């Protein structure tokens, strides 16, 4: 693993009540942003919580939290008000191997 990508961060989203109904208008742009972050090796996992769909969790591997914050600030779901609140937490991951 690259030294500059050894820190992990969790990005939590709280979303509007009608998130599933409203996200289709912004989904393609959101997924393009997700795929680009994944291609760069920053975004490890991402997805909405289920039953109820009231938020999402995105897991990043990055040199610092500014990478994650920049992602959130440019996410079409955030920009267009589908995300009502977001926050980043550094996550101390224990190596398994």
Reading the chain (97 residues) residue by residue, the pLDDT tens digits are: 445 557 999 999 999 999 999 999 999 999 999 999 999 999 999 999 999 999 999 999 999 999 999 999 999 999 999 999 999 999 999 888 7
Residue 2 CB contacts under 8 Å (≥ 6 apart), including other chains: 41
Domain locations in the chain as residue ranges: 3-91
The structure tokens 């994944």 sit at 38
Q: Omega of the bond prior to 52 within 30 degrees of 0, cis?
A: yes
> Topology of 3-91 in CATH?
Alpha-Beta Plaits (3.30.70)
The torsion angles phi and psi of 91, rounded to 5 degrees, stand at: -125, 120
What is the pTM (predicted TM-score) of this model?
A: 0.91
């Amino acid at each position: 693993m690259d030294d500059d990508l050894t820190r992990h961060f969790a990005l939590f989203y709280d979303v509007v009540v009608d998130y599933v109904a409203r996200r289709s208008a912004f989904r393609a742009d959101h997924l393009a942003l997700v795929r680009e972050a994944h291609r760069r090796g920053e975004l490890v996992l991402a997805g909405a919580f289920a039953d109820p769909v009231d938020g999402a969790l995105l897991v990043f591997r990055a040199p610092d939290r500014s990478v994650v914050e920049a992602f959130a600030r440019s996410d079409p779901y955030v920009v267009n008000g589908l995300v009502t609140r977001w926050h980043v937490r550094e996550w101390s991951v224990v190596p398994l191997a």
